[in-house]
Structure 1
């Protein structure tokens, strides 16, 4: 009986096909991977990764040891290739499989590479994202802001852009739906007059009010403690007016108030411009991140670090955008607000002092 069973199995075409499917495996193919640092000149390199070769090398020098594989088994990716895969993802916002086609690697490999590289770039935050640390830095920051529109004592501008994400799922998913009806993370940033991001908080759901994020941030405690002396931060009407945060006037009655309003607008404009440069250089922030929430937060901080490195290296040329991406970027930078600014104008002592003792004398 046993021999008859084997005979029936071998002679049945249906079993033959099934057996072939079971034992057949795809042949492993080792593809040659181009060396883009040598293949492209600086212009072609920037057109594809939207940062210069010099900037990319500087970043690679900082994270090479952390991301390098211990062996070359299984044709492991080099640190250069891992960084370029990640930069390509930041610069295009494409599907992971499409990004993987750049070097002929799988979707899962791209996901792991982006996770590791983004994490280690984000770990550079303390070296590249920081408030003025010394009295000399504070005075320089105030002088630089003063040159913009003659607004005194300003050390930073603050606001919150939204970064589009997919629904994180779970019971709290709706907390991430913002006023525009899309899922996002509300990211608080402060910038200096040179558009550098000097503080960032990237963990709050899109439905969270800007003022709530600020009230629960470390930077508020530092401002309240007097760490920055008499320095002030300019903000829009979504924040609470106090001794160290100055919001705009809603109604102008005098020439001094008109000068204050105009100077405030021109000074605070640098935060909007920083978002424009940041999101144009890394369109993945505007087109949307389709990754796990923890990975998304690392990517946001990592792109902020890269933005500052570009500013420090004077790599500030924003790459051209298609009309479609331009519309998405502009829509994501400014989400219509439903704030009642009149309820945040109780503590006007500092603002009134600036108007009466400075702007009225101009």
Structure 2
């Protein structure tokens, strides 16, 4: 197959598929020839093809000589093995050098300082009625997993939480995530995250100004939107590259915990392709659009008010020190 055909069919170039085979091949290799076991190559390619299209039947129809059950086992086995290596490819910046690169990369977008990551929630449709309850029905009316992502300045996933039902509020997922708790403990120093209005305003998590009244606040919101556009594009590319996650595939037909594993593994593969410079086979890229939500209530009112007030002060300092100066200089 040509390089273009491989990229279209499996979403990864030949060289990166070979590197994945070196990673998972020894574990996939069967120690016996009984029952004509599938080779590691066939198992990996079948799994990659499923991630790309989201249909067991379509993989069967590709002519690999596999039954639907065999494809399911390939996806199951490959996903489990890749999941063990996910933290090698999905991790937050650590160390002074990586933090500085993140700060500089985000500052170059629209001038907001000290950003370490962009946080957002996205819905992964699932379709397994026998395993679902009402908690999985999201606000848009379909069954889903609510996946929280943190995207870095390169458009790669630096963190992912894939375990909550679709009805779970984004702010609740953030408050109960490891990265949310780490930043609250000061693990990332003075670094900040950007989130939409579904997230609470904190000293380390800045959202837009709801009703801007000054030019500086308008400038801040424009810069906030421009910077956060990166996380929306990254989610869109991830779902376009691996259509098993996209609503057009009809939802992942697996148990919810298996759907979560597929989400993490495809995020890992997304990072591999981005770091290797592989482009999407499709010309069009789809941006993920999420409705904004009101801030959730997960802390006692007095504590919540105090944290919000501190966040307002931090956001106002950034507006005054950066965006008023920018406005004055341009004028």
TM-score (norm 1): 0.82
Cα 1:45–1:123 shift into 2, 3 Å: same
Q: Residue 319 in 1 paired to residue 274 in 2?
A: no
Conserved 8 A contact 1:196-1:308: yes
- Note the C-alpha offset of 1:168: 4.8
Q: Partner residue of 2:315?
A: 351
Q: Partner residue of 1:198?
A: 158
Q: Partner residue of 2:119?
A: 158
Conserved 8 A contact 1:180-1:335: no
**1:177-256 alignment runs, 5 A limit:** 177-256=137-216
Q: Residue 58 in 1 paired to residue 19 in 2?
A: yes
The alignment of Structure 1 onto Structure 2 pairs a total of residues equal to 313
CA-based RMSD of the aligned residues comes to 2.0
SS of equivalent to 2:240: helix
> Which of these residues, 289, 294, 298, is aligned with residue 339 of structure 1?
294
Conserved 8 A contact 2:163-2:257: no
- Note the C-alpha offset of 1:167: 4.0
Q: Deviations over 1:69-127 (max 9, x none)?
A: 11233221111111100111111112x23312431111111111101101111211110
SS of equivalent to 1:73: coil
Q: Partner residue of 1:68?
A: 29
> Which of these residues, 217, 221, 226, is aligned with residue 261 of structure 1?
221
TM-score (norm 2): 0.89
Q: Residue 77 in 1 paired to residue 77 in 2?
A: no
Report the more deviating stretch, 275-284 or 40-49: 40-49
Q: Deviations over 1:201-248 (max 9, x none)?
A: 000000001000001111112101212111100000000001100000
Q: Partner residue of 2:299?
A: none
Inter-partner Cα distance in structure 2 for 1:48 and 1:129 = 24
**1:142-157 alignment runs, 5 A limit:** 142-157=103-118
Q: Partner residue of 2:273?
A: 310
SS of equivalent to 1:97: helix
SS of equivalent to 1:161: strand
Conserved 8 A contact 1:49-1:91: yes
Cα 1:99–1:277 shift into 2, 3 Å: same
- Note the C-alpha offset of 1:266: 0.7
Q: Residue 290 in 1 paired to residue 250 in 2?
A: no
> Which of these residues, 231, 247, 264, is aligned with residue 301 of structure 1?
264
Conserved 8 A contact 2:171-2:295: no
Inter-partner Cα distance in structure 2 for 1:255 and 1:121 = 49
Inter-partner Cα distance in structure 1 for 2:290 and 2:318 = 30
Inter-partner Cα distance in structure 2 for 1:289 and 1:181 = 16
Q: Residue 48 in 1 paired to residue 25 in 2?
A: no
Q: Partner residue of 1:28?
A: none
Unaligned runs of 5+ in 1: 1-39
- Note the C-alpha offset of 1:321: 7.1
Cα 1:338–1:220 shift into 2, 3 Å: closer
Inter-partner Cα distance in structure 2 for 1:251 and 1:292 = 42
Stretches of 4+ aligned residues off by more than 4 angstroms: 343-346
Q: Partner residue of 1:271?
A: 231
Q: Deviations over 1:285-344 (max 9, x none)?
A: 0121011222211111110000001111111x112279xxx8xx66xx324344369x99
Report the more deviating stretch, 247-256 or 132-141: 247-256
